[in-house]
């Protein structure tokens, strides 16, 4: 019997000890949970990855539109004929081109390069796949004016998919010049320096291909980072980004737009666009 009482006492003490440890553990967990909900807790616990810049090479057309310009409704029924198109990058991976073609998409632009350091690994599937289903297609370059000159980036673009041929199905290359996803929105350049950089790119692209590059931009960015420079409108077709019911104000120098990126939430591929004219006008741009 004494032995029995001894075991019983030990058991009671062990149970009490375990309960104490569980109580302490629960208290610590509750305290930690409270700490993480306090303002600034994420900073104290470590860097906030949500605010970290994206990886180099991952920038895509229109990435900053919603953040900087907001988003409204879809376009109203157009008063003139327009032709549906899409733009794609590595974010879309292998694209269902036949599905897009069947939905009425007739032209496409594919990201080829960024800076002088990145080539889209899905470029062949996207560029050739769109062509193979019957689309008129072209390539675009995401500019990073703080990493290399305009001429260097134009040459890199042409050498890695951004060229042009008079086959009636290849559109001229696009300079995607917009908010910097990796840092200061104007890439640390003055307005005059940005204009010179863009001219360096477009002049080099013209010399290499015989075509004037299309300029893709947003009006608010163009105002902030070029001072609303009006010197490109007479030569370079405009592709304007605005996610709203109308195309809105255009950058200085362009009386009309050629293309309009109007949403990033399309059903098959997010980024959808309208060419300002019927399909024969898309073909005319391809033919030069």
Catalytic amino acids? 87, 176, 178
The residue assigned the tokens 């990435």 is: 63
The burial of 282, by beta-carbon neighbours within 10 Å (0-12 exposed, 13-18 middle, 19 or more buried), is given as buried
Give phi and psi for 128, each to the nearest 5.
-75, -35
Paired strand residues for 241:
261
d(CA 99, CA 284) in angstroms, rounded, equals 25
Q: Which two tokens stand for residue 9?
A: 């006492």
Convert 107-171 into a string of H (helix), E (strand) and C (coil). EEEEEEEECCCEECCCHHHHHHHHHHCCCEEEEEEECCCCCCCHHHHHHHHHHCCCCCCCCCCEC
β-pair partners for 141: 113, 175
CA 48-49-52 angle, 5° bins: 100
Tell me phi and psi for residue 120, to 5 degrees: -65, 115
């Amino acid at each position: 019997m004494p032995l029995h009482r001894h075991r019983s006492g030990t058991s009671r003490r062990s149970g009490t000890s375990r309960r104490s440890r569980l109580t302490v553990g629960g208290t610590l967990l509750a305290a930690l949970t409270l700490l993480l909900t306090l303002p600034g807790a994420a900073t104290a616990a470590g860097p906030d990855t949500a605010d970290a810049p994206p990886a180099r090479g991952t920038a895509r057309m229109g990435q900053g539109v919603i953040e900087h310009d907001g988003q409204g409704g879809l376009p109203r029924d157009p008063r003139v004929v327009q032709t549906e198109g899409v733009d794609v990058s590595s974010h879309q991976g292998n694209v269902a081109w036949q599905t897009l073609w069947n939905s009425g998409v007739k032209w496409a632009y594919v990201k080829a390069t960024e800076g002088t350091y990145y080539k889209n690994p899905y470029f062949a599937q996207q560029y050739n796949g769109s062509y193979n289903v019957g689309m008129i297609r072209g390539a675009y370059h995401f500019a990073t004016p703080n990493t290399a000159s305009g001429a260097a980036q134009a040459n890199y673009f042409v050498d890695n998919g951004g060229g042009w041929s008079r086959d009636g199905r290849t559109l001229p290359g696009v300079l995607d010049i917009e908010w910097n996803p990796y840092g200061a929105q104007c890439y640390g350049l003055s307005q005059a320096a940005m204009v010179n950089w863009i001219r360096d790119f477009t002049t080099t692209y013209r010399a290499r291909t015989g075509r004037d590059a299309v300029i893709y931009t947003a009006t608010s960015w163009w105002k902030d980072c070029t001072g609303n420079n009006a010197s490109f409108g007479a030569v370079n077709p405009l592709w304007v980004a605005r996610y709203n019911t109308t195309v809105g104000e255009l950058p200085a120098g362009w009386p009309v737009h050629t293309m309009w990126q109007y949403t990033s939430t399309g059903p098959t591929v997010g980024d959808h666009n309208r060419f300002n004219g019927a399909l024969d006008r898309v073909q005319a741009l391809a033919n030069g």
